[in-house]
Structure 1
């Protein structure tokens, strides 16, 4: 059996929309869990799971777009006491996949690729990041 997961877009005023994944409890209705990242570039980002999120109580503008059908074995509804809760502990495979946040090298590659795309640095900069060692020797400083 499959379940629908949705891309949830939340109005963020004049800034770009905030993106999240919404998984309705029991595959129906407007209450379920939100998987999203909070924070900003200055202070950093953190993964968060909002459980028992209720769109009927949401005051900000939003849009839900069907994202994909997912085998229900990969989704665990965590209703608990039915109250909205926030945490960072993955409880099913979809949530676990969200914890695979890129490390700083992956982030750096994405950043340099963006700099290249915007013409701010030459394309060879991407090769520097790709060729950088993953591990540094224990002794010595360069």
Structure 2
């Protein structure tokens, strides 16, 4: 049996869109675990899991995209517990172990300095973290190569 792993893109007209993995439960394709990083380029990011996350309950503008159909041996449903939106970042399956083994981006925004010639810095965010996770999941044979292409076509805002 396989499970569809989705990319959720939370749109923004001013900033980069927030990207999250969504692992739907067997019981309801709209409810599952949301795996992501939270924070900003100034302070850095940290891993986060939203268990029993219901896509229908968010007011944020979003679109979901299929990333991969993976073997269900890599995924396990979290027990359905009410009123626990943010669970501790403790992996319960192989997919989560791999994803949360990838470090969340640290601070990447520098202060401007007076007159110093400073090289341009690449600002890393949740999108960069998702891309790195997908690369590792593909290299371990958990995701197919098509997941990389799916990310290339995903909206950035």
Q: RMSD of the TM alignment (CA)?
A: 2.6
Q: Residue 64 and residue 27 in structure 1: after superposition, are their counterparts in 2 closer, same or farther (change >3 A)?
A: farther
Counterpart of 1:68 in structure 2 is 68
Q: Provide TM-score, normalisation by structure 1.
A: 0.68
| Larger strand proportion of the pair | 1
Q: Provide TM-score, normalisation by structure 2.
A: 0.62
Structure 2 stretches lacking a partner, 5+ long: 107-118, 121-157
How far has the Cα of 1:102 moved from its partner? 3.9
Counterpart of 1:50 in structure 2 is 50
Paired residues, number: 110
Q: Which has the larger radius of gyration?
A: 1
Structure 1 stretches lacking a partner, 5+ long: 108-119, 122-142
Counterpart of 1:24 in structure 2 is 24
Deviations 1:13-36 (A, max 9, x none): 410110011111117421111010
- Whether contact under 8 Å (1:4, 1:27) holds in the other structure is no
Instruction: Tell me whether 39-48 or 82-91 shows the greater mean CA deviation.
Output: 82-91
Q: Distance in 2 between matches of 1:37 and 1:18?
A: 9
Q: Residue 12 and residue 59 in structure 1: after superposition, are their counterparts in 2 closer, same or farther (change >3 A)?
A: same
How far has the Cα of 1:78 moved from its partner? 0.5
| Larger helix proportion of the pair | 1
* More relative contact order, 1 or 2 (CA 8 Å, 6+ apart): 2
Counterpart of 1:101 in structure 2 is 102
Q: Residue 12 and residue 29 in structure 1: after superposition, are their counterparts in 2 closer, same or farther (change >3 A)?
A: same
How far has the Cα of 1:3 moved from its partner? 0.8
- Whether contact under 8 Å (2:10, 2:61) holds in the other structure is yes
Q: Residue 103 and residue 40 in structure 1: after superposition, are their counterparts in 2 closer, same or farther (change >3 A)?
A: closer
Counterpart of 1:136 in structure 2 is none
How far has the Cα of 1:41 moved from its partner? 1.8
Runs of 4+ more than 3 Å apart: none
